[in-house]
């Protein structure tokens, strides 16, 4: 919370920040330019009428393999205009959120437990390594047998992916608690339970948030791969169906839609992180010593 007095005292850094603000705007412009350039190139190279075919024997082949940006946009527009996408998007998002939350809760609980009981962690260590090394996507068929083709099997797949990321981070986070802070809390009279609540958990939180950014992406992977392998609803199902008809535009539209929502969820995690982790030094804030 820099007061006006602090601002006056720190003229130097402020000037740099102002310059940095300009640079940031320029950076954004370049970033948008890259995207625009990519779309233009994509459009020019795939449009059957603009250029004579460079690589393919027929003009329409490029569009067949890579889709066309305008068609993709049109597909997205029709999805939302007719409302047919909502049902599928809803299913995918529910699956993603459920796997994200269940995986995170289990990961945190299990990570805390194992980090704080050395015996259990010593016994389970090889098995945890084995399960983590296993390519867990191949569990999908088993989950289909157990939970059917509905939402549950996709959630199970997503949870199996998210759980380990969060688990390992919490485990690490608890191990990295400063021994001095811990000893100090003990000297101040904290019981083992209070140590858990007031020292271990807050200290592990920064690691948890770092892992949540990865987890959001993996929760989507679980949902979409699950739908792709067997379902009747969801964006993954739409993509799978479109592939059956070689409808590349719909496939690309589905991918774009998923990307946007993954970014959105990641942004929400970022906002939560900023709110909950106010105690962490930020790079913009110079440390006063």
Residues in contact with another protein by the rule CB under 8 A: 1, 178, 180-181, 183-191, 194, 198-199, 202-203, 205, 278-281, 285, 287-289
In angstroms, what is the minimal distance from the CB of 287 to another protein? 6
Q: Give the rounded distance of the alpha carbon of 162 from its chain centre.
A: 10
d(CA 178, CA 198): 13
Dihedral over alpha carbons 249, 254, 260, 264 (to 10 degrees): 170
In angstroms, what is the minimal distance from the CB of 205 to another protein? 8
Q: Contact, 75 vs 249, CB < 8 A?
A: yes
Handedness of CA 230, 233, 239, 243 (dihedral sign): positive
Nearer to another protein, 35 or 180 (CB): 180
Nearer to another protein, 59 or 185 (CB): 185
Task: Compute φ and ψ for 67, nearest 5 degrees.
Answer: 70, 175
- Which tokens is 41 given? 């190139």
Nearer to another protein, 47 or 121 (CB): 121
All residues at 6 or more sequence positions from 239 whose CB lies less than 8 Å from its CB, including other chains: 224, 228, 250, 251, 254, 255
Nearer to another protein, 60 or 194 (CB): 194
In angstroms, what is the minimal distance from the CB of 149 to another protein? 44
In angstroms, what is the minimal distance from the CB of 2 to another protein? 10
The string of DSSP codes covering 75-88 is HHHHHHHHTHHHHH
Task: Compute φ and ψ for 263, nearest 5 degrees.
Answer: -60, -40
Alpha helices by DSSP H, the chain: 4-9, 11-46, 61-66, 69-82, 84-116, 118-133, 140-147, 151-175, 179-187, 192-195, 201-229, 235-244, 248-276
In angstroms, what is the minimal distance from the CB of 202 to another protein? 4
- Which tokens is 235 given? 């964006």
In angstroms, what is the minimal distance from the CB of 110 to another protein? 22
In angstroms, what is the minimal distance from the CB of 112 to another protein? 16
In angstroms, what is the minimal distance from the CB of 201 to another protein? 10
Q: Contact, 210 vs 187, CB < 8 A?
A: no
């Amino acid at each position: 919370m820099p007061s006006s007095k602090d601002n006056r005292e720190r003229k130097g850094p402020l000037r740099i920040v102002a310059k940095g603000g300009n640079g940031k705007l320029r950076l954004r412009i370049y970033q948008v330019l890259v995207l625009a350039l990519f779309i233009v190139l994509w459009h020019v190279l795939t449009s059957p009428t603009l250029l004579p075919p460079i690589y393919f024997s027929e003009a329409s082949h490029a569009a067949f393999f890579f889709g066309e940006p305008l068609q993709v946009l049109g597909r997205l527009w029709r999805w939302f205009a007719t409302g047919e996408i909502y049902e599928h998007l809803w299913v995918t998002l529910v699956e993603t959120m459920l796997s994200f939350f269940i995986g995170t809760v289990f990961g945190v609980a299990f990570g805390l437990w194992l980090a704080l009981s050395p015996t259990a962690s010593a016994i389970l260590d090889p098995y945890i390594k084995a399960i983590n090394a296993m390519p867990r996507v191949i569990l999908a068929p088993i989950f289909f047998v157990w939970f059917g083709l509905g939402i549950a099997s996709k959630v199970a797949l997503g949870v199996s992916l998210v759980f380990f990321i969060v688990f390992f981070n919490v485990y690490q986070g608890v191990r990295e608690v400063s021994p001095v802070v811990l000893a100090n809390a003990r000297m101040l009279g904290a019981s083992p339970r209070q140590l858990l609540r007031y020292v271990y958990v807050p200290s592990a939180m920064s690691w948890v948030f770092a892992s949540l950014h990865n987890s959001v992406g993996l929760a989507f992977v679980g949902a979409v791969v699950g739908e792709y392998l067997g379902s009747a609803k969801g964006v993954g199902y739409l993509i799978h169906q479109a592939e059956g008809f070689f409808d590349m535009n719909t496939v690309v539209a589905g991918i774009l839609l998923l990307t946007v929502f993954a970014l959105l969820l990641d942004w929400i995690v970022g906002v939560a992180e900023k709110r909950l982790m106010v105690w962490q030094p930020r790079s913009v804030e110079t440390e006063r010593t």
